Structure 1
Amino acid sequence: MFFVFTSCWTTNVRDLASADGTGEWNLSPSAISYASDGTLMIQVDQKGRQVLYQLDTSSWPNPPTPADLKLFDGLMPFGSVMDVTPLPGKSNRVLLSCDSFEHSRQVIIQDLPAQDAGILQPSALRQENFGITKTQVDQIWFPGHEKRLIHAYVLKPSDINRKQKYPLLYVIHGGPQDSWRQVWDKRCHLALFAEHGYIVVAPNPTGSTGYGQQFTDEIQGSWAGKAYSDFERSFDYIYESLDYVDTERAVALGLGYGGYMVNWIQGHDLGRRFKALIADNGTFSLLSHLSSNTQHAILHGLGGPPWLNPEAWREWDPAQHAGNWKTPQLLIHGELNHQRPVSDSLAAFNTLNLQSVETGLLIFPNEGFGIRSPENLLLWYRTVLKWLKQYAR
């Protein structure tokens, strides 16, 4: 549910509220704005893309229901809706920006209401796709933990030959309450890796957003439990069902929470199924989060601090399984990352070296988690691609 502030003199409206406090709508809006006609424009993650809904609140004080939400389904071909700006005056249109795996940001003018799906795309701002097409992007659903269906994107090279087998790049998103969705992401551009000759599989495991609030919440108290089970089963699915993928030449790449999961995978059986691993700004020891500038997420995720819930902090700590690390691993970290300190990657690097496991280390002294410098981003891609070529080509 969400709150609508109507005025200083009236009670706020709790839209889509329910008696049990969970809300009548099982998705969580990422942004809400008013259109010129007074309706709400709601952006929300939904099954691997950020979509746009319109909600008419004119029935107040009678609260709206989920049936009153109108999806702008005509925007689906444009990927994810990134920004929404109402046009001034009494216009019945909104200005939108959208992007996807296969094209960069483009601006669209959308008619209101949602069911009148008239769309105008100005030619003044034209997107770039660099030869990437929609045919390169597939979606799969595989049975994950407790046989629940898990969604993943599959990106293929533009010149794919189905009679050949291609190495696998298995990418794990951050968060953990986040998802891979249709966006043109310069930080980790999945289509770029596909164009270098890899099949890129990007799963949205337990804890991801866009598949219902219960699915997202199930990561709490089990940071590497159900998600790891989803990854194991997805690897089995890829091996059995995608005959153009060579799982003998597989590399896993994770960023943020994904880096934590790569370190977790390294200490468990799934780590032996990869030829190499890449952890970007990952966690080696959960206790290092106590030196972070934010503790809310880890405390919420593990059910409190280590002195109140020590079992969870030990159970889901990658460092507890460091003696099992055997797969070559590249470690990348931004020294200005104050949420996940650089000492985690240094500890992981030393752990691998002490066990004579091949390893690499890239530290950006002037970057945090996000890479702002174009030169540093170029170095990031070159380093990752070199590691991939060394172990998977």
Structure 2
Amino acid sequence: MTIPRLSFLALLISATLGGQALAADATTDKHAITHEDVWLMKRVGAPQPSPDGKWAVFSVTDPAYDSKEQWSDLWIKSLGDDSPARRLTFSKGGESAVNWSPDGKQLVFVAKRDGDDAGQIYRIDVAGGGEAQRLTTLTLGARAPKFSPDGKQLLFISDIFPGNASEEDVKKTAKERKDRKYTARAYETFPPRFFDKWLDDKQVRLFVMDAAVGAKPRDLLSGSKLAALPGFGGGQGDEGQSLDAIWSPDGKAVVFSASTNRDELARASGYTQLFSLPVAGGEAQQLTADKRSYNNLKFSADGKTLFALSEAEEPGKVYDLTRLASFGWPLSSAAPKLLTASLDRSVSRYALPAGTGRIVFSYEHAGLEQLHSINYAGGDLRDEASQPTGSIGSLNAGGKALVGVWESAINPPEVYAFGNGAPKRLTSFNTERAASIDWQAPEHFWFKASDGRMIHNMIVKPANFDPAKKYPLFAVIHGGAANMWRDQFVLRWNYHLLAQPGYVVLLTDYKGSTGYGEEFARAIQGDPLKGPGDEVNEAVDEAVKKYSYVDGARLAAGGASYGGHLANWLQATTTRYKAIVSHAGEMDLVMQWGSSDSIHGREVNSGGPVWGDKAVWREQSPVMQAGNHDKGTGFKTPILISVGELDYRVPANNALMNFATQQRLNVPSKLLVFPDENHWILKGDNSRYFYSEVHGWLAKYLK
């Protein structure tokens, strides 16, 4: 099917009226954005509506530069009137994984409170009030609780150590490990680490317990044939492995997705299949047996349809669209019905508002993420009422209510109600602060690249912008590469804060980006850096030609993660830029393959293993082009290099090699190492220092 493009009028509204109307009051004195504005904006979490659609609960983080002073609590908002949201919890540690009881009177959530060594499940009586009660006291904690359909039981995830069969075993093993004298880690499967953590041998499990204080949890998987498989496990996250699990409509079974080939991740794509497990005990039944992956499981209100998001995991491909899939329930076929098979976009999230017979979902497109819907049969695709700018970052349904978080580059996140006419803002945590900032919504433009592809871009202007003046251009490159620049409020590389000293920021979605279809995202295969780098350069040329206020003699480029890879590539292959900024950027494709926490996809992208005959491993490694001065390129441009010492996705050896090469070639260069940061810079004072160093580096070479 054809994806609708934004019309010129829609883009004009987007760039002028639509976004600014919420963020700005023309009578208010405004100031250029500061790091404090960025860092201290309240962070609004995904709202969870009650089953009857009367209330929504969500987290709000009140940030601080000193993490000890930061607060995060649950808030509750009536969806039936305009009364303001009120705070529901008063706990510094914060709460997560909120789930409503079926009658809408109680909530469970995960928190780490006084006396907890790990996150535990707590229950609070929303209707009657009072303090939250701790329901679990497991040695390794509990996460992702869900009430059973009758509200009498809880399903949740926890871990055990190998060989454990009970909580007593877990407690004993934990003590033995704490008391042992050696500190070595041992591994027999890949990967040994993930982002900023060395992985351990804990094994993920599903538990069920009565929803009552003092109830004893039951491990549903220990001792099962499924859990004994060497490749059994779940998706890896910050808190360990996760199994996407929900109750069956009759409450007699648990339906979940899990992997059985985690032991093959060094040489094959991982995939997750669907299983059903009786709550009363017994072996899990495998429901699907294909090479797809399934997650985000939901049942229809009548219990007759199971929905999921699914990817094909197609062999030899670097990217697969995420599609909406459905199964008749009880399972009538092991093959899913792909409801969005004709939609050339990945579904980001979906919800099932009651009584509509429709699935409401969002997908990325050209910097925006808006709402659409389809019927349960997969037909009658519609655009739903959305803001003309910005992005929807969460979406959940309760009864007929549909709520989520909307934001844009000049409107920090707030809770919104959708699905009943125009979107309605329900909270105002950040609106006053946002209104005091002098900023403009991003301006969108397209151009045709030399390879014939249409390339989408956004331009961000600094405070006190004067179109009669000339401004340096800073081309900021997104990571991924399977990612997209979005019209949203960004913490780590905030567009307006980067522009604040007086730069125009260019945001380009080069080939390999998401939001433009499967072929566009896959076009990076076999061409990991050169093609995308060429398109960034062409976007810069187009911006210089299109906008008279861009000074083509003062250009800089930079990015993080894959954006850092491309920044290093641009330094190696062009001298057009006066300065480069590279955070978490790879220098050598071979070294990155062998030292990162992900390797199979890198082989697929480069056409084969590093010991094969694929020239891309050498020809598109930035360090291998460093000395190409006889070709008029090579490393010459001054470069600011930064890295988190705890980054295991793009390990610090890349930054060390980068700095060593620059120094060897006598290139002006500076290395910033953050010993307590991972792939991202997440601590307030570190972030403030990072922005000041970026601004200082650009000022040194652009002004």
| TM-score by shorter chain over 0.5 | yes
Change in 2 beyond 3 A, CA 1:278/1:94 = same
1:2 aligns with 2:320: no
Residue of 270, 273, 292 corresponding to 2:596: 292
Is the partner of 2:564 in helix, strand or coil? helix
| Structure 2: distance between partners of 1:71 and 1:13 | 24
More divergent stretch after superposition (8-17 vs 183-192): 8-17
| Structure 2: distance between partners of 1:43 and 1:126 | 24
The residue type paired with residue 577 of structure 2 is F
Residue of 670, 681, 694 corresponding to 1:371: 681
| Structure 1: distance between partners of 2:418 and 2:385 | 11
1:96 aligns with 2:400: no
The residue type paired with residue 526 of structure 2 is G
Map residues 20-169 of structure 1 onto 2, 5 A cutoff: 23-37=341-355, 39-57=358-376, 59=377, 64-65=378-379, 68-77=380-389, 79-87=390-398, 90-91=399-400, 93-112=401-420, 117-123=421-427, 125-127=429-431, 128-129=433-434, 131-132=436-437, 135-169=440-474
Is the partner of 2:451 in helix, strand or coil? helix
CA contact (8 A) 2:474 2:557 kept: yes
More divergent stretch after superposition (134-143 vs 369-378): 134-143
CA contact (8 A) 2:444 2:458 kept: yes
Change in 2 beyond 3 A, CA 1:213/1:134 = farther
CA contact (8 A) 2:409 2:441 kept: no
Please tell me the root mean square deviation across aligned C-alpha atoms, in Å. Answer: 1.9
The structure carrying a bigger helix percent of its residues is: 1
Is the partner of 1:236 in helix, strand or coil? helix
CA contact (8 A) 2:446 2:454 kept: yes
Cα deviation for residue 123 of structure 1 reads 4.2
**Stretches of structure 2 lacking an aligned partner (at least 5 in a row):** 1-322, 628-633
Cα deviation for residue 73 of structure 1 reads 4.0
The structure carrying a bigger strand percent of its residues is: 2
Cα deviation for residue 118 of structure 1 reads 3.4
Is the partner of 1:146 in helix, strand or coil? coil
Cα deviation for residue 365 of structure 1 reads 0.9
1:332 aligns with 2:635: no
Change in 2 beyond 3 A, CA 1:41/1:276 = same
Change in 2 beyond 3 A, CA 1:191/1:5 = farther
| Structure 2: distance between partners of 1:86 and 1:309 | 52
Deviations 1:279-309 (A, max 9, x none): 0100001112211111133122212321235
Is the partner of 1:249 in helix, strand or coil? strand
CA contact (8 A) 1:302 1:309 kept: no
Kindly, what percent of the aligned residue pairs are identical?
28
CA contact (8 A) 2:408 2:489 kept: yes
CA contact (8 A) 2:351 2:359 kept: yes
Cα deviation for residue 329 of structure 1 reads 0.2
| Structure 2: distance between partners of 1:171 and 1:192 | 12
Change in 2 beyond 3 A, CA 1:109/1:215 = same
| Structure 1: distance between partners of 2:450 and 2:651 | 31
* Aligned twin of 1:15: 338
The residue type paired with residue 307 of structure 1 is W
| Structure 2: distance between partners of 1:226 and 1:294 | 22
| Structure 2: distance between partners of 1:249 and 1:237 | 15
Q: Pick the structure with greater CA Rg.
A: 2
* Aligned twin of 1:274: 577
1:357 aligns with 2:667: yes
Is the partner of 2:670 in helix, strand or coil? strand
The residue type paired with residue 384 of structure 2 is F
* Aligned twin of 2:26: none
The residue type paired with residue 687 of structure 2 is L
CA contact (8 A) 1:260 1:283 kept: yes
| Structure 2: distance between partners of 1:158 and 1:124 | 23
* Aligned twin of 1:20: none
CA contact (8 A) 2:351 2:395 kept: yes
Change in 2 beyond 3 A, CA 1:118/1:238 = closer
CA contact (8 A) 1:136 1:158 kept: no
1:179 aligns with 2:501: no
1:318 aligns with 2:622: yes
Map residues 339-350 of structure 1 onto 2, 5 A cutoff: 339-350=649-660
CA contact (8 A) 2:556 2:578 kept: yes
Cα deviation for residue 55 of structure 1 reads 1.9
Cα deviation for residue 119 of structure 1 reads 2.8
CA contact (8 A) 2:646 2:675 kept: yes
Change in 2 beyond 3 A, CA 1:348/1:24 = same
Cα deviation for residue 312 of structure 1 reads 2.1
CA contact (8 A) 1:143 1:233 kept: no
The residue type paired with residue 256 of structure 1 is S
> What TM-score does the superposition give when structure 1 sets the normalisation length?
0.89
Cα deviation for residue 391 of structure 1 reads 1.2
Is the partner of 1:273 in helix, strand or coil? coil
The residue type paired with residue 10 of structure 1 is S
Cα deviation for residue 149 of structure 1 reads 2.0
CA contact (8 A) 1:145 1:226 kept: no
| Structure 1: distance between partners of 2:352 and 2:613 | 43
| Structure 2: distance between partners of 1:123 and 1:331 | 39
CA contact (8 A) 2:474 2:505 kept: yes
> What TM-score does the superposition give when structure 2 sets the normalisation length?
0.51
1:233 aligns with 2:538: yes
Deviations 1:90-149 (A, max 9, x none): 32x21110111111001111125xxxx333222454534254577442111122132322
The residue type paired with residue 369 of structure 2 is Q
Change in 2 beyond 3 A, CA 1:371/1:34 = farther
* Aligned twin of 2:227: none
CA contact (8 A) 1:334 1:365 kept: yes
Cα deviation for residue 262 of structure 1 reads 0.9
* Aligned twin of 1:202: 507
More divergent stretch after superposition (34-43 vs 251-260): 34-43
Cα deviation for residue 258 of structure 1 reads 0.8
Cα deviation for residue 30 of structure 1 reads 2.1
Cα deviation for residue 319 of structure 1 reads 1.5
The residue type paired with residue 212 of structure 1 is G
| Structure 2: distance between partners of 1:124 and 1:348 | 45
